[in-house]
């Protein structure tokens, strides 16, 4: 028997993977716990609790186009690049040349490994001529001859369709499981099915991973679910993933990963300044370091400008800062700042400030969290502005996730001791903050309300401090002015005049 040596092609496009920051939620294992096999796929090891138990039999299932072959081969080439032997056994009509051509589009593919570390065999002839027994003998001969540490069997449907009976399939699965365990070969079977059905091959494997595509109207996202992985402490539920030029990248569901890690945040006695004349005095010289502040207000009232003041003050205090935005590009934010006397250009050029910007369209919510937390950890960010929390609502495929997602996100920010400001829009028709959907208010230590209203016959912007944990504050309603020099907080609304409840748009 000779393995295929069909050359593939390597894409000249650079890999554009958004690598998941593995250290965020990784389960901790003893250094000498060597029975776990790393997949080499960004985020997947975190979902699996550190990796897959070695020398086990796994079923990777999903309908056509879900990414089964890409996932398995990415694992294979990862280990082949580290000197491990990998056997790919195909039972489908697609030629090895075409398969290698498809794999050549991904950054993980290395044609130099084909024929030496990654061996391709066709097993369909053995199956068609001698059935399951002959196929098992063929697999046994391949394992004995090449001693691979990983085997991929692509085309499990052919095995299912050729079984003379359910009992014969069960016997084949039991024998295959014993064989790969004895030969110390971690094995992946690829099946074009969905669902975790009882009384099927699903019960006869050590692990079951399903790839699926979730649809919401015209939008589709890819999701991965680990039904079982014996010996692994895997995360339950679905986790989004992408297939890009580098291969698969998995984004563990933030609230599931945060629940598993269950990290508590430390309390801080240090206060940080906001950077707006008059505001720091209202809140007794600033907010607590590591706290989360929600700035809520009607459109155009000045929430983003207030946030730029907050970032500018952080830069003046020699802090490393980060802005995550959805609706205004970095160029527009810089321009907006310059118009009110806040120049952030130098900080952008020297790296003290970075901006992550995504239109709130077809982007994964967990990818946003991953990019945010990775940037914070890599640059040691201490002050963050999230401009427009509505962006998370707009990209969420599962709206019920929003609140638990935000709970997990703000907790990750707190435990990193990152002082954070999050802006939120209050619709025009809401007459007050208390009439709005404030169910998320428990997420924040501090809440500021900005409103546009009429005071003494003139349109005015008003600022009110609604909440400051662990500190006193002045609750009076104050007039807020925006000029070429930025925001200034001025006199209070007269106590003798009734405070108007009518919202006026700008």
Q: Cα(52)–Cα(37) distance, rounded to whole angstroms?
A: 5
What mean pLDDT is predicted for residues 26-49?
A: 75
Phi-psi region of 284 (alpha: psi -120 to 50; beta: other; left: phi over 0): left
Q: What is the CA radius of gyration of the chain?
A: 28
Domain boundaries, the chain: 36-252, 271-492
Phi-psi region of 189 (alpha: psi -120 to 50; beta: other; left: phi over 0): beta
Are 36-252 and 271-492 equal in CATH topology? yes
**What's the pLDDT tens digit per position in 308-317?**
999 999 999 9
Position 454 scores a pLDDT of 76
Q: Which CATH class is domain 36-252?
A: alpha beta
**What's the pLDDT tens digit per position in 283-300?**
877 889 999 999 999 899
Q: Kindly report which listed range (96-105, 111-120, 121-130, 490-499) carries the lowest average pLDDT score.
A: 490-499
**Residue 441 vs residue 315, higher pLDDT:** 315
Position 506 scores a pLDDT of 29
**What's the pLDDT tens digit per position in 3-19?**
444 433 333 333 344 44
pTM for the predicted model, two decimal places: 0.85
Position 92 scores a pLDDT of 78
Place of tokens 């707190």: 414
Position 282 scores a pLDDT of 87
CATH 3.40.50.300 for the 271-492 domain, yes or no: yes
**What's the pLDDT tens digit per position in 55-71?**
999 999 999 899 999 99
**What's the pLDDT tens digit per position in 335-362?**
999 999 999 999 999 999 999 999 999 9
Bridge partners of 223, per DSSP, are 212, 240
Of 242, 252, 207, the C-alpha closest to 60 is 207
């Amino acid at each position: 028997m000779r393995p295929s040596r069909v050359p593939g092609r390597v894409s000249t496009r650079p890999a554009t993977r958004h690598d998941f920051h593995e250290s965020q939620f990784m389960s901790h294992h003893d250094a000498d716990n060597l029975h776990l096999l790393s997949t080499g796929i960004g985020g997947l090891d975190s979902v699996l609790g550190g990796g897959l138990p070695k020398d086990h039999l796994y079923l990777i299932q999903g309908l056509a186009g879900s990414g089964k072959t890409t996932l398995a081969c990415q694992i294979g080439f990862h280990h082949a690049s580290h000197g491990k032997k990998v056997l790919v056994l195909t039972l489908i009509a697609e030629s090895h040349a075409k398969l290698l051509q498809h794999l050549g589009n991904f950054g993980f593919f290395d044609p130099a490994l084909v024929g030496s570390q990654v061996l391709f065999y066709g097993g369909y002839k053995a199956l068609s001529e001698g059935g399951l027994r002959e196929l098992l003998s063929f697999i046994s001969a391949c394992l004995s001859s090449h001693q691979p540490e990983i085997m991929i069997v692509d085309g499990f449907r052919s095995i299912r369709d050729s079984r003379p009976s359910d009992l014969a399939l069960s016997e084949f699965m039991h024998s295959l499981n014993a064989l790969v365990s004895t030969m110390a070969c971690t094995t992946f079977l690829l099946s074009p099915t969905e669902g975790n059905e009882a009384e099927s091959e699903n019960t006869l494997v050590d692990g079951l991973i399903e790839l699926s595509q979730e649809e919401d109207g015209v939008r589709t996202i890819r999701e991965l679910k680990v039904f079982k992985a014996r010996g692994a402490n895997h995360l339950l539920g679905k986790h989004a993933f992408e297939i890009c030029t580098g291969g698969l990248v998995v984004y563990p569901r933030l609230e599931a990963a945060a629940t598993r890690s269950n990290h508590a945040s430390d309390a801080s006695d240090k206060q940080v300044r906001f950077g707006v004349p008059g505001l720091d005095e209202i809140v007794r010289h600033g907010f607590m370091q590591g706290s989360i502040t929600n700035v809520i207000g009607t459109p155009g009232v000045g929430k983003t400008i207030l946030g730029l003041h907050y970032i500018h003050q952080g830069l003046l205090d020699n802090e490393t800062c980060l802005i995550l935005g959805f609706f205004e590009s970095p160029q527009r934010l810089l321009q907006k700042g310059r118009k009110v006397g806040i120049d952030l250009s130098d900080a952008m050029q020297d790296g003290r400030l970075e901006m992550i910007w995504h239109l709130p369209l077809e982007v994964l919510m967990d990818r946003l969290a991953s990019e945010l937390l990775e940037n914070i950890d890599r640059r040691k960010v201490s002050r963050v502005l999230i401009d427009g929390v509505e962006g998370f609502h707009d990209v969420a495929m599962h709206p019920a996730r929003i609140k638990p997602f935000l709970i997990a996100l703000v907790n990750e920010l707190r435990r990193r001791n990152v002082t954070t400001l999050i802006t939120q829009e209050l619709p025009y028709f809401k007459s007050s903050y208390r009439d709005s959907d404030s169910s998320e208010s428990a997420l924040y230590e501090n809440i500021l309300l900005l409103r546009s209203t009429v005071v003494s016959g003139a349109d005015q912007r008003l600022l009110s401090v609604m909440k400051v944990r662990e500190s006193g504050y002045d609750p009076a309603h104050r007039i807020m002015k925006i000029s070429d020099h930025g925001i200034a907080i001025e006199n209070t609304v007269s106590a003798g005049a009734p405070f108007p409840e009518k919202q006026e748009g700008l």
